[in-house]
Structure 1
């Protein structure tokens, strides 16, 4: 939850700083670090220099999007029913594309991890 949520008394995580810190820590490990290491660290080249690199990045992005409904179908603990909704998957594709672009632009996973973390924490804090 952002400082704005706390100062305005908005719902997110019921204004519970401890719950927010737990969410922030979990989001750092599971989606931000874990998914970015796989989908942008292992599956795609850090810098695009050829058409083949672009194709590999597109496949990695597609795998990232498909991973979300697969989590639901496998019954994984972090999965949520929203992971199968087309609107959510469109947003996942947009975030994944931005993470891909950041990784290619910087040659580093850290900016993509940070973006992924901010998006997940913002989403969950706002709905928690």
Structure 2
């Protein structure tokens, strides 16, 4: 099987797999565990601060954009395409190697984005707290994908967490999406 056929098969399988109730439950528990770790870590590291976005237009536009990028695009690029289909007959060590490699590339993609595409976001994309939380997000989304075999739980998790950061915890201001609040 050539590589394009393999990637197409992975994408079609993951996008057509309807998540079960237990897959959504697993994702919800993972979301709670992520919050228990990420909130204190992010506050202590200075990445998170209470800064809600109040503009309805900014909320809608950030929500629509974040659903496509980063949530959908990054989950396809860093989970669905590189990882063998969950349940594939593959050596467990090799499967874990793909998971680790994909996770490292996911983390490294953020500072690379700052160097190549968004130089004004270097302070965020090189921040050790941001990279740690991005790594934890990658672990959560990988677990949701492997457990469900579906693209949709990791996309929803990724989108929810990005939206909470952007709209409530200072992310939109850090990323330059909205003007910083008045002092």
Match of residue 25 from structure 1: 64
Structure 1 length normalisation: TM-score? 0.84
Bigger Rg, which one:
2
Normalized per residue, which structure has more helix? 1
Secondary structure of the residue aligned to 1:12 is coil
- The partner residue of 2:155 within 104, 113, 126 is 113
Structure 2 length normalisation: TM-score? 0.60
After superposition, residues 1-128 of structure 1 pair within 5 angstroms as 11-13=51-53, 15-47=54-86, 50-76=92-118, 79=121, 81-126=123-168, 127=170, 128=172
5+ residue gaps in structure 1?
Answer: 1-9
Q: Deviations over 1:3-50 (max 9, x none)?
A: xxxxxxx8422x111210100000001100010000001111231652
5+ residue gaps in structure 2?
Answer: 1-49, 173-183
